[in-house]
Chains A and B, each alone.
Chain A
Amino acid sequence: MDRRELVGRGLLVGAAASTLLLAFLMLFYLTEPASAPPACGPPPLPGCWNAPDAFRIFLFHVPLAWTAYLSFGIVFAASAAYLKTRNPKWDAIASSAGEIGVVLVTLALVTGSIWNKAELGVYWRWEDGRLFATFILWTIYIAYVALHTGSREPEEARLAAVFGILAFAAVPVSYFSQTFLTSLHISIRPTFPPQTWPTLFVGVVAFTLLFLHVLRWRLQIDALELRLLGIKETMEESA
């Protein structure tokens, strides 16, 4: 690793760590609990929070979901670039972003379910349009990662790239699902304390930086795997 790369990596890690720490501090010390009028329910009323402390889950649930959408956007763009250029670099970027995206969307689903339990009393409701659409998104990208595992053949990379492009259709469906599917998703309730938005912004920046660092790291591991394969092939040829 040369000096310039080392400095770039250090800056990225430092920026990600410091913004994550700032988001964490803002989560606890700056953001007040959401207001909870006495006649909140059950059943829950619009504009009212049953769990005014647990609403802060929103402040890391949304950044997790945002970075998952970003990773799937990168899968889409890198898959398209691979199909156009057939450069294995794009395939590596797409598969790495897909793997990270699955981890992030899994965490977004789990943290969202815990918030759902706090606010509405149940972990999961299939009638919640966004939950349902995000669950479908999760299964699609698990299939994408499975398709990519264990092979570096160009034919399979091409198939994975086509899948990566088609799978992206699930992202806008998941994002806009609460407007066009019958949804009871809790984030549509309007009353957030004013400090919510700066905390959310810092959280989104922190998770984006963390994502970029992990993507870079994952690509280095991918390059190392390629080197290992190269050595093994050389040894087999000379044996």
Chain B
Amino acid sequence: MNDVVYLYAALTVALVGLFAYLAYLQRKQSKIQAEVKRLEELVTRGTR
């Protein structure tokens, strides 16, 4: 087998791994931001 296949395989693994981690961080941030917003609205409504 042509060994360039291994180069592409390793590069794909590295890129997919990095992007998966970045996507995980993005998802986590959005989830917490939404929760903070929801609770802050609840608190504001409660204090009115």
Contact = CB atoms under 8 A, between A and B. Distances in A.
Nearest to A207: B18
A54 B7 contact: yes
Contacts, number: 82
Interface string A52-66: 111011001100100
A100 B17 CA distance: 12
Per DSSP, chain B at the interface is: helix
A235 B32 contact: no
A115 interface: yes
A211 B22 CA distance: 11
Interface residues of B, number: 26
A166 interface: no
Interface in B1-48: 2-4, 6-7, 9-11, 13-14, 17-18, 21-22, 25, 28-29, 32-33, 35-36, 39-40, 42-43, 46
A19 interface: no
Interface of A: 50-54, 56-57, 60-61, 64, 100, 103, 106-107, 110-111, 114-115, 117-118, 210, 214, 217-218, 220-221, 224-225, 227-228, 231-232, 234-235, 238
